[in-house]
Amino acid sequence: MLNLKKTDPEIADLLEKEKQRQIQGLELIASENLVSKAVLEVMGSIFTNKYAEGYPGKRYYGGCEFYDVAEDLARERMKKLFGAEHANVQPHSGTQANMAIYFATMECGKDRMMSMSLSQGGHLSHGSPVSFSGKMYQVTQYGVDLETEMLDYGIVEELAKKVRPRLIVCGASAYPRRIDFKAFQEIADGVGAQCMADIAHIAGLCATGVHETSVGVVDFTTTTTHKTLRGPRGGAILCDKEYAQMVDKAVFPGMQGGPLMHTIAAKAVCLKEALQPSFTEYNRQIVKNAQKIADVLLDAGLRLVSGGTDNHLLLIDLSDRGITGLEAEIALGRAGITVNKNTIPRETRSPFVTSGLRIGTPAITTRGMKEAEMEQIGALIAQVLRDIHDEAVIRKVKDEVVALASRFPIYPELA
Ligand SMILES: *Cc1c(COP(=O)(O)O)cnc(C)c1O
Tens of pLDDT along 257-305? 999 999 999 999 999 999 999 999 999 999 999 999 999 999 999 999 9
Question: For residue 33, how far is its CA from the centre of ligand 1 (angstroms)?
Answer: 14
> What average pLDDT does this structure show over 137-165?
97
Report CA(222)–ligand 1 centroid distance (Å): 9
* 290 and 361 Cβ atoms separated by less than 8 Å: yes
Does residue 94 have its Cβ closer than 6 Å to ligand 1? yes
Which pLDDT does position 405 carry in this prediction? Answer: 97
224 is catalytic: yes
Whole-angstrom CA distances from 250 to 90, 102, 108, 379, 398 are 11, 9, 13, 48, 48
Beta-strand (E) ranges in 94-137? 112-116
User: Which secondary structure element, helix H or strand E, spans residue 359, and what is its range?
Assistant: strand 356-360
Residues 163 and 56 in one domain: yes
Instruction: Assess whether 258 and 311 both reside in one domain.
Output: no
Strand ranges for 76-206 from DSSP E: 86-88, 112-116, 138-142, 167-170, 194-198
Residue 232 lies in a domain: yes
Please name the residue ranges forming H helices in 138-260.
Answer: 153-163, 181-190, 203-207, 244-251
**Residue 395 falls within a domain, yes or no?**
yes
270 and 289 inside one domain: no
Note whether residue 3 is domain-resident: no
To which H or E segment does residue 315 belong? strand 313-317
Residue 414 banded pLDDT, cuts 50, 70, 90: low
Instruction: Compute the distance between CA of residue 361 and CA of residue 46 in angstroms, rounded to an integer.
Output: 33
* Residue 227 is among the residues annotated as catalytic for this protein: yes
Q: Model's pTM, two decimal places?
A: 0.97
Q: Say yes or no: 304 and 384 in one domain.
A: yes
Domain contains 334: yes
Cα angle 79, 44, 369; round to 5: 70
- Determine which one of 19, 32, 50, 51 is catalytic: 51
Give the angle 407-229-59 at the CA atoms, nearest 5°. 130
- Tell me the pLDDT band of 1, cut-offs 50, 70 and 90: confident
**In this structure, are 269 and 351 located in the same domain?**
no
CATH at residue 71: 3.40.640.10
Mean pLDDT, to the nearest integer, of 44-60?
A: 97
The reply to whether 265 and 367 lie within a common domain is no
Expressed in angstroms and rounded, the spacing between residue 278 Cα and the centre of ligand 1 is 25
pLDDT for residue 223: 98
Indicate which atom in ligand 1 lies nearest the CA of residue 226.
7
Inside any domain, residue 83: yes
Average pLDDT along the chain? 97
Whether 216 and 324 share a structural domain: no
Catalytic annotation on 198? yes
Residues 231 and 116 in one domain: yes
Domain CATH number, residue 355: 3.90.1150.10
Q: Is 48 a catalytic residue?
A: no
Please determine, for residue 413, whether its predicted confidence score (pLDDT) is greater than 80: no
Task: Among 274, 293, 328, give the residue marking a domain's end.
Answer: 274
Asked if residue 120 and residue 222 are part of one domain, the reply reads yes
Domain hosting 381: range is 285-414
Residue 1 lies in a domain: no
- Total domains in the chain come to 2
